[in-house]
Structure 1
Amino acid sequence: MTGERRGRRRLRAVRVRATLIAVLAVAVALVAGGTALVLGLRTELGNDVRDAARARAHEVARVIEAGRGVPAPTVADPDEEFLQVVDSAGKVVAASSNVEGLPALARLKPGQRASVKTPLDEDRFLVAAVGARDGDRKLVVLDGRTPAGAAEAARTVTRLLLIGLPVLLVLAAAATWAAVGLALRRVARAEAAQRRFVSDASHELRSPVATVRQHAEVALADPERADARALADTVYDEAVRMQRLVDDLLLLARADEGGPAAARRRRPVDLDDLVLEEVRRLRSAAPGLRIDGTAVGAARVSGDQEALRRLVRNLGENAARYARTRVTFALADTGDGRVRLVVEDDGPGIPEADRRRVFERFVRLDESRSRDAGGAGLGLAIVAEVAAAHGGRVLVEDGARFVATLPSGE
């Protein structure tokens, strides 16, 4: 439990760090983007104000150059715009009513622009100058406009960003926290499964070693009474069991790393040949049982022959281990792109509540499935792994009827 708590604390620390880093990165990006947006908006709106001032000055200049004299210019909003017509000496020739009597508010040449202070408002006005001729006189038309509207729009956007950015950061933090948590839950489950796997594997490997050591110690303690044949038989049986267990563990380890070799080396395999081979083997290995293979029909799958042979053998050995009198094999191509293999025995069967758990690793359902009787509890787990690697599945339909369904190789 201490290791698990330490692991949970470590994963939580990783989750917190990942969330903080993500939020910080999002914050920097949002602040930079928001700043660029506000500055760009102010610049764009300021340019719009200058363009409007220049356009109005051009209108007045066209009237003057049309020979109609210098008109008394008017403005739509006296608080936000002014107009002045200035001669080459800087004298105001004409002006809008809101700046009438005032000297030239800017000294600009035609085509120039400037930002100037005026008595009209505390904010500076943006002024555009356009040249005009009234006979022999050279005049300059000045149109000034306040950028207050642009500034107010920029302030509004800034306020909205100040409200929206924290909300976005909270949403980013929540999304990151959830996503990292989901990923780490998978990691935590994998880590827990790995710890259980290592623990169970160590226990299973320790048992045959302990048995061999115990018999060897007895023989060494009293060599004259030791039965060499019995000792050899014991060592041989435990060595076979250990080799089988190591082979199973290696196969499952390869599956955990990315699938058994069956997923990588596919070729057409006559599954009926493998099933009939297992029928013959069981008839020789278990002469007390009736092994029925009459329902085995032709069926071909695509996959790894050795892995599929292991699937069939494990199902056959499991059935023979718990059968009372008979084991029945049935194989058929269902015609819908699937091959169905059924292995059934007349033993006690598997309770419905345990029919999924039986395919987990190192699972023994009761005392009768001891190490001597039932192996290490990896046989059916390997069946499930091989079936999954071939795009199929295996389940217990009823009692002791195991059904493996695989894609057809035809």
Structure 2
Amino acid sequence: MTPGTGERARRELRAVRVRATVIAVLAVALALVAGGVALVFGLRTELSNDVRDAARDRAGEVARVIEAGRGVSTLAVSADDEEFLQVVAEDGTVVAASDNVEGRPALARLAPGGSTTVETDLDEDKFLVVAVGAKDGDRDLTVLDGRAPSGVAEATWTVTRLLLIGVPVLLVLAAAATWAAVGRTLRRVARAEAAQRRFVSDASHELRSPVAAVRQHAEVALAHPERADPDALAGTVREEAVRMQRLVDDLLLLARADESALAATRRPVDVDDLVLEEARSLRSGTDLAIDSTGVGAARVIGDSEALRRLVRNLGENAARHARARVAFALTDTGDGQVRLTVEDDGPGVPPADRKRVFDRFVRLDESRARGAGGAGLGLAIVAEVAAAHRGRAEVGEGDLGGARFVVTLPSAGE
């Protein structure tokens, strides 16, 4: 990735981050405002209904006293500036009233069961007035109970004030959370894109080398046919073709890993058979001492071909670096895990390189030679296959003095 491309990608990701944050904040703001308005109006309506119900109950009590024939000489209210009572005849004459409206005409003209709001000098707020009918002998009376909804306004304003403070705070928190979450997501995307670019670049480089070698030998043979050795040319072409085929196979396997397609075919696999097969292959192809006495029976559920590639890559890696000896060990630990160990007596892996050795196209300094180090994908495939089977791959120092690679997989019982 060139500096210009990287800077452009960062600007694009930042623009996406800003847009996502703005959209999220606007959506949250819309939801909070709509919810806040609904809350305030709902609260106001509920509290107003409570005031109306209290006024109707009080007026009903007065009406029952009148109908019981006890009359009403005085009407008591809870607070002079928050409530009044009047008993009004059909002609509008006030028959009785609370002390705070004594001597005043009817403050409202209502039929029984009705309600309205009126202005008085008792309070700055309009009074909510409720009418209840009553019978006093042959007379039809109306009991008016008026109440100041000051508590409604106070409670509504308190909630509104809290919303005016809380909504901006929630928006700031939503913006910060969205910014952070989108940033983490985009960082993963940016890292994945950079890794993909590096992967493509490294793969192109690795494929370019054998193609260039074949082309070079072919051009020399065409330019100087009298000096060309057909057997040598065929051997070179075959060697480079095998190398390209191996590289392409590795790249295809890693592509399947990237698409989570490894271990798609799952069936019981006897890993000990795969390990013993690899041990026999190394004995027939190398002069190394191959120790497989530590291989016990172990079975996992997975893709047999992917697991065979894992075992082969570990064996070939150990044989490439071993001085004289390679040791295989396999055991079912009894706690739901199968542990495969491959050791060699080579130079080992320095502690600083023990994590990155499983990265793609990573070759340590002593393995960079074209004939010895391969493309740097073998151990990456080991890690990918292990992860696809819900396992893990690790490297440390072995008892033979070299590297010890350990792959842990769930056993078939799990």
TM-score by length of 1: 0.95
Alignment-derived partner of residue 26 in structure 1: 28
Task: Encode CA deviations 1:252-292: one digit per residue, 9 max, x unaligned.
Answer: 010011141x2x21222222221221122112211x22223
Which residue of 2 is the match for residue 352 of structure 1?
Answer: 351
Measure how far apart 1:329 and its partner are. 2.0
Q: What aligned pairs does 1:91-240 form with structure 2 within 5 A after superposition?
A: 91-240=93-242
- Please list every run of 5 or more consecutive structure 1 residues that lacks an aligned counterpart in the other structure: none
Change (3 A) 1:390 1:138: same
**Contact 2:295/2:330, CA 8 A, preserved across alignment:** yes
> Given that residues 70 and 134 in structure 1 are in contact (C-alpha distance below 8 angstroms), is that contact kept between their aligned partners in structure 2?
no
1:268 aligns with 2:271: no
Q: Residues 349 and 396 of structure 2 are in contact (CA less than 8 Å); yes or no, is this contact kept in structure 1?
A: no
Alignment of 1:331 onto 2:330: yes
Structure 1 letter corresponding to 2:265: R
Deviation at 1:303, TM superposition (A): 1.6
Q: Deviations over 1:53-72 (max 9, x none)?
A: 11111122122222223322
1:46-65 mapped onto 2 (5 Å cutoff): 46-65=48-67
Name the aligned partner's letter for residue 157 of structure 2: R
Q: Which runs of 4+ in 1 moved over 3 A?
A: none
The one-letter code matched in structure 2 to 1:283 is R
Whole-angstrom distance in 2 between the partners of 1:137 and 1:3? 94
- 4, 7, 10: which one pairs with 2:9? 7
14-23 or 4-13: bigger deviation? 4-13
Distance 2:202 2:241 in 1: 18
The change in CA–CA distance for 1:138 and 1:52 in structure 2 (over 3 A counts) is same
Cα distance between partner residues in 2 of 1:338 and 1:118:
85
Seen in structure 2, the aligned counterparts of structure 1 residues 121 and 329 have a Cα distance that, compared at 3 Å, is: closer
The percentage of counterpart residues that share the same residue type is: 78
Cα-Cα RMSD: 1.5
1:402 has 2:405 as partner: yes
Cα deviation 1:84-129 (Å, max 9, x = unaligned): 1111111112222222222111111111111122233332211111
AA of the residue aligned to 1:124: K
Which residue is 2:380 aligned to? 381
Deviation at 1:225, TM superposition (A): 1.9
Q: Secondary structure at the residue paired with 2:126?
A: strand
1:40 corresponds in structure 2 to 42
SS in 2 for 1:292: strand
User: Aligned in 2, Cα 1:69/1:368: closer, same or farther, shift over 3 Å?
Assistant: closer
Give the distance between the partners of 1:67 and 1:181, measured in 2 at CA: 79
1:318 matched to 2:308 = no
The verdict on how the C-alpha distance between 1:149 and 1:336 changes in structure 2, with shifts beyond 3 A counting, is closer
Q: Distance in 1 between matches of 2:60 and 2:330?
A: 94
CA shift, 1:75, in A, is: 1.8
SS class of match (2:105): coil
Equivalences for 1:291-306 in 2 at 5 Å? Answer: 291-306=290-305
What amino acid sits opposite 1:254 in the alignment? R
User: Letter of the aligned partner of 1:383 in structure 2?
Assistant: V
**Structure 1 residues 385, 79: closer, same or farther in 2, change over 3 A?**
same
In 2, the alpha carbon distance for the partners of 1:171 and 1:190 equals 28
Q: Is the 8 A contact 2:293 2:329 kept in 1?
A: yes
Hey, what does 1:16 align to over in structure 2?
18
Is 1:284 equivalent to 2:284 in the alignment? yes
Cα distance change of structure 1 residues 255 and 129 upon mapping to structure 2, 3 Å threshold: same
Q: Distance in 2 between the 1:409 and 1:44 partners?
A: 63
Superposed displacement of residue 389, structure 1: 1.6
- Counterpart residue identity of residue 281, structure 2: R
CA distance in 2: counterparts of 1:312 and 1:96, whole angstroms: 99
8 A contact 2:260–2:388 mirrored in 1: no
Residues 64 and 71 in structure 1, CA contact (< 8 A), matched pair in contact too: no
Distance 2:298 2:390 in 1: 16
TM-score (norm 2): 0.94
Does the 8 Å contact 1:364/1:374 carry over to 2? yes
Query: How many correspondences in the alignment?
Result: 407
Residue 396 of structure 1 aligns to a residue whose secondary structure is: strand
Is the CA contact (8 Å cut-off) linking 2:17 and 2:182 kept in structure 1?
Answer: yes
1:74–1:96 contact (8 Å) kept in structure 2? yes
